[in-house]
Chains A and B, each alone.
Chain A
């Protein structure tokens, strides 16, 4: 087992997962306490303002975004470890995976 590679991926994944679960849990708690607040898809610029006003939807949205980015953060950490190991195949494959995810982030409804 490549200890450095596995440790890096764990730390990268944790950097996304820990805040994701914290925001999601806070969002659910706020939702149960303030069920009258409006629901629905929230644009990113409104999410930050919503966090300041303790809007449950903002907490849930930011938690979901952290969660969606968590596997990518694990892959970025793997890329760093592959670079340090001078593992060319690992670098190319990880870059390809990250590039496809980056494309999917930029796909918008027609």
Chain B
């Protein structure tokens, strides 16, 4: 049976869930492809990276003219992130599938813990204009109509952490937003809206660096990666439009249970 329609269906569901729950498609699409459709994990990760580039590029296009993306901060953090992504990609193509399944199960457990915790209040936002700082940026907050000024701090610590985020992205095909957004908002005092938009911009570049490695090794076959990318994109657009204000706690906890179940299944498959 041709895999295109089941792939599209799975990817649309993954994209919609990702948008509803505020997570990237990667942590949904990789277990979906491996556990439901039986796709080898290297191919699932290569396809997930392709989908992640599609969704992050589309998100960046919708945010960028509103000024939410801090391009200077993005470029600063992207240098270590993209180095991490290349090493992660190279490591992934060298590792056995069982090892990747173990590592991915670890990421699923980490994502479950992050999602299960009640949302912490956002970082304090400087409302007075900051002067100096090359990274200082402003944007108009749509909910209040006011201008938000902020000056990112602790760039040094964030640069080191970014290498790890990039490596996780290249190694496991996840966007890394689950690391980058808390890093920028909690550590660097970047407003959450700007952190999410800047993270989206960065995810595309990070994904591109490792995508070429997967593609050249034959781990992003067009008949799987192509429909996955389009499906996740359609699902994410639909999910964000329909459920823009819907983040029900019960659905989130159900999803956490599903992630943990997928993690256990992956560990069991890896053990044979």
Contact = CB atoms under 8 A, between A and B. Distances in A.
Interface of A: 1-2, 5-7, 9-10, 13-14, 16-17, 20-21, 24-25, 27-28, 31-32, 35, 39-42, 56-57, 60-61, 63-65, 67-72, 74-75, 78, 89-90, 93-94, 96-97, 100-101, 103-105, 107-109
A24 B226 contact: yes
B44 interface: no
Contact of B86 (A21, A41, A103): A103
Contacts of B71: 2, 5-6, 9, 78, 90
Contacts of B128: none
Contact of B76 (A74, A93, A101): A93
Nearest to A40: B221
Given A6-B71, A28-B226, A70-B53, A39 B221 contact: yes
A97 B78 contact: yes
A64 B226 contact: yes
A64 B58 contact: no
A90 B134 CA distance: 9
Contacts of B105: none
A10 to B, nearest CB: 5
B79 A68 contact: no
B75 A93 contact: yes
A6 B207 contact: no
In this complex, the member of B69, B223, B233 whose beta carbon has the largest number of chain A beta carbons within 10 angstroms is B223
A29 B153 CA distance: 48
A100 to B, nearest CB: 5
A100 B53 contact: no
B137 A1 contact: yes
8 contacts: A28-B227, A31-B4, A65-B215, A68-B211, A68-B212, A71-B204, A74-B204, A104-B85
B127 to A, nearest CB: 17
Contacts of B204: 13, 70-71, 74
B134 A100 contact: no
Interface string B182-206: 0000000000000000000100110
B5 A71 contact: no
